[in-house]
Amino acid sequence: MKKFFILLIITYPLFGKSQINNFPDSINWKKVNSLIAVESGFYIGGLSYLQYIWYADKERVPFHYYNDNKGWLQIDKYGHALTAYKESFSGYYGLRKAGVKKNKALIYGGPLGFFLQFPIEVFDGMYEGWGFSWGDVWANTAGSALLVGQELAYNDQIVKLKMSYQRSEMANQKPWYLGANQFESFFYDYNGHTYWLSSNFNKLVPYERIPDWFNIAIGYSGENMFSEFENRNQFEEYKRYRQYYISLDIDWTKIPTKYKAVRMLLDAMMVVKLPFPALELSQKKLTIRPFYF
């Protein structure tokens, strides 16, 4: 999971452009070449990090597969989809802001998340302790498809894939595995991850007085996960279960501003869910989380 978030984070401020801006009519090749150069540089750097640091203590083995589709109640698959969605969003809108027409931007930028993630899956298949996962590939595909499908159908992203994080109590009980602090747990504690489909409310209930940035979000998470597939030893008594949420949100990319620095900050927050109270359904119970991150 860590390597995917590294690639996600480094693309935050560089390519995500606000959708409220008009796209130029002619191609700015300087912007296109800069986009390609920066993207390539970061990606090569990311792959180098994986090969020489992340896999440094792993033994190289013959290419093999790993079926983790039932792991972590599929929370990690949402992480793959989120990363691919953000990278495809960055590629597509980066090209559009450079003046590339919609169809070509979709062809070259739309599948970007899938193509950036696929070599990483190949790396996993060549090292001990990992493995090529078809489930991850399908999740990456879904993330890119969410971007492309909406542009084809609506010429807009009326539903965005987002996440929120809050370190869980499970991490406190098993810090050597789920992270000893906030930073470590962000990468290893899947109990603390929630993934959201956030939609513009005025697309669901057309009313001109509803601002474009006002969203409603549906979320998914898991609880009591002390290992990938099943809880063992002293943690066997904890029953793993799924959680579903509904909450309010903000589409940061559609908040108007005339300040460039603020625009970049808002665009960088595109996949971050607004901390807000949420209605939770889990284990056949309906509860309210007073302030959900």
- Is the pLDDT confidence value at 196 over 60? yes
Which residue, among 112, 138, 133, 111, has the nearest Cα to 123 in the 3D structure?
Answer: 133
Rg (CA), the chain: 20
Question: Stretch 91-108: mean pLDDT, rounded?
Answer: 92
CA distance 293 to 219: 11
- Is the pLDDT confidence value at 97 over 70? yes
CA distance 183 to 199: 29
pLDDT, tens digit (0-9, with 9 covering 90-100), for 232-277: 999 999 999 999 999 999 999 999 998 989 988 898 889 999 999 9
- Is the pLDDT confidence value at 229 over 70? yes
The pLDDT value recorded for residue 167 is 92
- Is the pLDDT confidence value at 129 over 80? yes
- Is the pLDDT confidence value at 222 over 60? yes
Query: How would residue 292 be classed by pLDDT, with cut points 50, 70 and 90?
Result: low
Angle formed by the axes of helices 134-154 and 75-97, to 10°?
Answer: 40
Query: How would residue 218 be classed by pLDDT, with cut points 50, 70 and 90?
Result: very high
Pairing mode, strands 193-200 and 285-292: unpaired
Arithmetic mean of pLDDT over the chain:
87
Cβ-based neighbours of 81, under 8 Å, separated by 6 or more: 139, 140, 142, 143, 146, 161, 195
Domain ranges of the chain: 1-155, 158-293
HSE, CB side, 13 Å, CA atoms: give it for residue 136. Answer: 27
Query: How would residue 164 be classed by pLDDT, with cut points 50, 70 and 90?
Result: very high
Higher pLDDT, 91 or 53: 91
- Is the pLDDT confidence value at 14 over 60? no
Instruction: Assess contact for 147 and 102: CB atoms under 8 A.
Output: no
Cβ-based neighbours of 174, under 8 Å, separated by 6 or more: 226, 235
CA distance 157 to 110: 12
The pLDDT value recorded for residue 16 is 45
Query: How would residue 1 be classed by pLDDT, with cut points 50, 70 and 90?
Result: low
Residue 286 DSSP one-character state: E
The pLDDT value recorded for residue 286 is 82
Residue 276 DSSP one-character state: E
Strand partners, 196: 162, 219
Question: Stretch 9-21: mean pLDDT, rounded?
Answer: 48
Which position has the token pair 């993207």?
39
Residues above pLDDT 70, as percent of the chain: 92
Question: Stretch 211-221: mean pLDDT, rounded?
Answer: 94
- Is the pLDDT confidence value at 220 over 50? yes
Query: How would residue 13 be classed by pLDDT, with cut points 50, 70 and 90?
Result: very low
- Is the pLDDT confidence value at 206 over 50? yes
Question: Stretch 117-139: mean pLDDT, rounded?
Answer: 91
